[in-house]
Amino acid sequence: MGNLIERYIYDVTRRLPEKEREEVSRELNANIYDMLADNADAADEGEIRGVLQQLGSPAALAEKYRQNPQYLISPAIYDEYLRTLKLVLPLVGLAVLAAGTIAGAIDNLGYDLVNLSQVIAKILAKGLALGISAVFQALMWVTVGFVIAERTGAKPDKSKEWKIEDLPETPADDKGRIPLSDSIAELVVTVVFGIIMILLCSGVLPFSFVIIRGETRLYSLFSPGFLASCLPAMVVVISLSVFDCLVKIRYGRWTPLVCGTTVASSLISTIIVVYLLNRPGLLSDEFLAFIRGLENPNLLRFLGAGGGRTIILLISAFIIIVTIGECCYALYRTLRSRR
C-alpha cells in the first residue's frame, strides 16, 4: 500500500524546488490518508488507486503547489543540470583553451620574434578567446539538451489518461538509473571533442608539432593518408557515441536495449580505432626523417628493434582493456537493475 503512495508523492515533489519538497510531502501524505476510509491502515490497493486517480496527474498537482509556475529547467532536474555544468564547462574550457593556445603559437611562427612579450600576449589572447567562447557554447548546448530531454521525456500524452502505472520508482529502488546529467555531459563532451578531431583530420586545425633548435620548424606528425582515412572513421565513431548518449537520455535506465547500444558502440569504435592505429603509414615521412636525424643512438636502436610497434601495441591494448571494462560495467548495471 505504502509503495504506491510513496511513488505518487515522490513524483509530485521531485518537480518542486528543494526547499518546498518536505512540507509538500507531509501535506500531501496527510491529504491522501484523510481521503482514505477510517481504517486507512487496512485500505486495499483498489482504494488507494481510486484516491490517487482522484488527485490526478502528479505533474498537474505539482503545478498547483508550485509558487512559480514555469521553469526553463525545472526543479526535478535542476541539481543534475548544475552537476553537468560543473563537469562540462571546466573540461571543455580548458581543452579548447589549450587547443587555442597551440593554434595561436602556430599562427605566430612566421612573425619576427623580437618582441617576445607581444607574441606571448597574442597567443594567450587567442587561447582565452576560444576558451571563453567554448564555455558559452557548452553552456548553451547543455541547457538546450536538458530542455529538450525534459520536454520530450516529461511531456504528458494528452491522447490518453494518466495512469497509476506511470508513476516512477522512488530513489530507494534506483539501481538501474542513469543520471541525466551524466548522459548530457557525455553527449556534450563527445560532440565538442568530436568536432575538434574532425577538424584535425580534415586539416583545418594543424595536427603538428614544433621543434626549436636554433630555428623554428613545423612538422606534420601523421601522414596525410592516415589523416584522410581517419576522417570517415571519426564520423562513424562520433555518430555511434552520440546515438548511445541519446538512447541513454531517452530511456534513463540500464535496460537491455541501452546496454546493447553501449556495448555495440564501444566494440565497433574500438575495432575502428585499433585498426587505424595498426595500419602502415601512420607517421609522416618528415617526422620519420626528423627521428633519424636525431643524434640519439639509443632511440634509433629502440625504434629499429620494433620499439615503435611495441608502443602502438601497448596503446591498442590499453584501448581494448578500457572498452572491455566499459562493456562489463554496462552489463553489470543492467543485470543489477533487473534483479
Per-residue pLDDT of the chain (339 residues; tens, 9 = 90+): 457 888 888 888 877 776 777 888 888 888 888 887 666 555 677 888 888 888 888 877 887 776 555 566 766 666 677 777 877 877 777 777 777 777 666 666 555 444 555 556 666 677 777 777 777 778 887 888 877 776 665 444 444 467 777 777 665 445 677 877 778 778 878 887 787 788 778 776 666 665 555 555 666 778 888 888 888 898 899 999 989 988 988 888 888 999 999 999 999 999 999 998 888 888 777 777 777 666 666 666 656 655 567 778 888 999 999 999 999 999 988 888 776
Instruction: Name the residue range of residue 27's domain.
Output: 2-65
Structural domains counted in the chain:
1
Q: Is 260 inside a domain boundary? A: no
- Calculated CA dihedral for residues 72, 74, 77, 79, nearest 10 degrees: 90
pTM of the model: 0.56
Q: Is 60 inside a domain boundary? A: yes
Q: Is 181 inside a domain boundary? A: no
Q: Is 190 inside a domain boundary? A: no
Q: Is 304 inside a domain boundary? A: no
Q: Is 212 inside a domain boundary? A: no
Q: Is 289 inside a domain boundary? A: no
What pLDDT score was predicted for residue 260? Answer: 94
Q: How many other CB atoms are found less than 10 A from the CB of residue 310?
A: 12
Q: Is 134 inside a domain boundary? A: no
By CB atoms closer than 10 A (0-12, 13-18, 19+), residue 18 is exposed
